[in-house]
Amino acid sequence: MRWAKRTTPLPSCAGVGRPNVRRTFAGVSAAASIAGMGLADVAYRVYERQLTKELSGGPLPCHVGVILDGNRRYAAERGLHTPADGHAAGAKRIDPFLDWCLDLGIPYVTLWLLSTDNLGRDDVEVSALMDIIEDTVRRMGCTQEAATRGLRVTAVGALDLLPESTRHALKQAEEATAHHDRLRVQVAVGYGGRQEITDALRSLLAERAARGMSLEELATTLVPEDIGDHLYTTGLPDPDLIIRTSGEVRLGGFLLWQSAHSEFYFCDAYWPDFRRVDFLRALRDYQRRTRRFGR
């Protein structure tokens, strides 16, 4: 299997080989009996370790994008009081996910927390969601634990559409983590792919007009890289892998420009239910693909 070269060193994992299935499950039963744990819990841990071994030595994505979908359905199906309860449950899943990325040495993550379309939802839900986002980014960037983890938080989106308190929380997290370099966490808030491309073109036209270039000159010299230089995500590599939870099989406007050569993985689990094994399965699926980048 051939893979494209990358500039970021790939992490390696210890462990090789596939265990004997009969012996594994005998060991699971014994472990469950000895430790007093449920068989399902022990089997889950064994399976998780096996998935980690399967990833050993293979290429991992440099940049993972995640569409955190299914929070509202999670709340509805579990009889929670409001959609905000589902969003709060989803926010709690972010910290473990980032720890998984840190453990595997994945250097870039983009989390789609709020789309421009989401801003049109009920005012009560949007207000609650903004509070949850503010708490989440402060937890990622403005705590002692965040400093220890080495996360660098940046925000992308039509930030001018957000409440002042949300913009302030995002700015605080960015400033507090500007010197960190272990894991770059890009939070997409008030983000829409079409809006991003529109804003990029607007910025490009303004820049070229300031330099005295006519529309005719721009039209004859324009190349994709010109637009790419004005996207929200300038300076970050394009995502290698994009994961969407909740069983929906579409991008919905997430990183439309940047995902031209991305691999996609769609998972049935709602985001609050997304487990480490779900992430490892996505990475295993990524490793099994041959990336040709259109060639």
Residue 288 makes CB contacts below 8 A (sequence gap 6+) with: 1
Catalytic residue among 20, 95, 118, 123: 118
Mark whether 162 and 272 lie in a shared domain.
yes
Tally of domains within the chain: 2
Mean pLDDT of the chain: 87
Q: Are 124 and 247 within one domain?
A: yes
Asked about 71 being catalytic, the answer comes back as no
Q: Are residues 105 and 174 in the same domain?
A: yes
Q: What is the model's pLDDT at position 25?
A: 38
Say yes or no to pLDDT of 7 above 80.
no
Catalytic, 118? Answer yes
Cβ proximity of 200 and 226 under 8 Å: no
**Is the residue at 118 inside a domain?**
yes
Is the pLDDT confidence value at 37 over 50?
yes
DSSP state of 58: S
- Residue 136 inside a domain? The answer is yes
Q: What is the pTM of this model?
A: 0.84
Q: Is the pLDDT of residue 282 over 60?
A: yes
Q: Show the domain range for 141.
A: 61-287
Higher pLDDT: 235 or 49? It is 49
- Please provide residue 147's backbone torsions phi and psi, each rounded to the nearest 5 degrees: -65, -40
Are 81 and 46 contained in the same domain?
no
Residues 89 and 201 in one domain: yes
CA distance 233 to 238: 9
